[in-house]
Structure formats: structure tokens, C-alpha cells
């Protein structure tokens, strides 16, 4: 008696579904990494707090670095020019919240002076940027 054997098929790896999955993961990680960055601010060492920071729409960000340099949305500013630059930024959005993104080792007096200049041109809402401590 003769037994018929089926021809052995070679295993195939389908590449199209694998490309779809890899593309999906790539897009996911790209979008997620963009959501984790502050687009308009300069990198500073923020003070740590025990509470998680609130999410605020960050249209106008005042950054004060440890060396005393001042930035308005990544644009260099000084104490003399910050008022005019803020007035220009707030022209379209007068009710905006100004986020003060000051380095933890920056001069406290300079932070107050910058906030005072902002108050002189009509800013009424400030938010102080902090970083969650991470300790539970």
C-alpha cells in the first residue's frame, strides 16, 4: 500500500502586518514624546513639590535661568525690554496666564522684578512652574 505524502510547505513570515505594527509603534512614541516636552520653554531645574502640578495651557512662558538670563517663549529678554515683549505677546490674548518657569537656584529678587514688570503692563494671572518630587 502506498501512502501519499503532502508536500511540506515552507514556513513564511508575513512582513506586511509586521510593518504595520512597527509603524504604529513609531507614531505612538513620536506623539507621546512630543506631549512630554514643553515646546516654548527653556530647560531649567524647576523647584520640586510633593503635589502633582496642574495642567495649564502654556501660551506665554517667562523663563528665568540660574545665571539671571530672561527668556520669553525662547526669545531673549532683559528687565528693560520684558514689558514691551510681553505686551506684544498678550495683544491677541489679554486674559492669558503667564507661566513663570524659574530655575530653583535663580535670584528670587529677579523673579519678583520680572513679575512686577509684567503686572505693570496688565498681566493679572501668573502660574509658577514646578516639578513633581516623585516621592510617595
Neighbours of 41 (CB within 10 A): 18
Report how far apart, in Å, the C-alpha atoms of 20 and of each of 17, 27, 31 are: 5, 11, 17
pTM of the predicted structure, to 2 decimals: 0.59
pLDDT per position as a tens digit, 44-62: 666 666 666 566 666 788 8
Report how far apart, in Å, the C-alpha atoms of 112 and of each of 34, 75, 102, 104, 115 are: 31, 20, 11, 14, 5
Mean pLDDT of the chain: 79
pLDDT per position as a tens digit, 67-110: 888 888 878 888 888 888 888 887 777 677 888 888 888 888 88
Nearest to 72 by CA among 27, 120, 40: 40
Note the pLDDT of residue 50: 65
pLDDT for 120 beyond 80: yes
Amino acid at each position: 500500500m502506498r501512502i501519499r505524502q503532502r508536500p511540506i510547505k515552507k514556513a513564511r513570515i508575513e512582513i506586511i502586518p509586521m510593518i504595520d505594527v512597527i509603524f504604529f509603534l513609531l507614531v505612538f512614541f513620536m506623539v507621546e514624546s512630543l506631549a512630554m516636552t514643553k515646546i516654548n520653554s527653556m530647560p531649567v531645574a524647576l523647584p520640586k513639590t510633593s503635589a502633582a502640578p496642574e495642567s495649564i495651557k502654556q501660551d506665554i512662558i517667562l523663563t528665568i535661568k540660574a545665571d539671571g538670563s530672561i527668556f520669553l517663549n525662547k526669545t531673549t529678554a532683559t528687565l528693560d525690554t520684558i514689558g514691551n515683549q510681553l505686551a506684544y505677546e498678550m495683544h491677541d490674548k489679554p486674559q492669558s496666564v503667564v507661566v513663570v518657569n524659574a530655575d530653583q537656584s535663580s535670584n528670587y529678587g529677579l523673579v519678583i522684578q520680572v513679575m512686577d514688570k509684567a503686572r505693570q503692563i496688565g498681566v493679572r494671572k501668573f502660574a509658577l512652574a514646578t516639578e513633581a518630587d516623585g516621592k510617595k
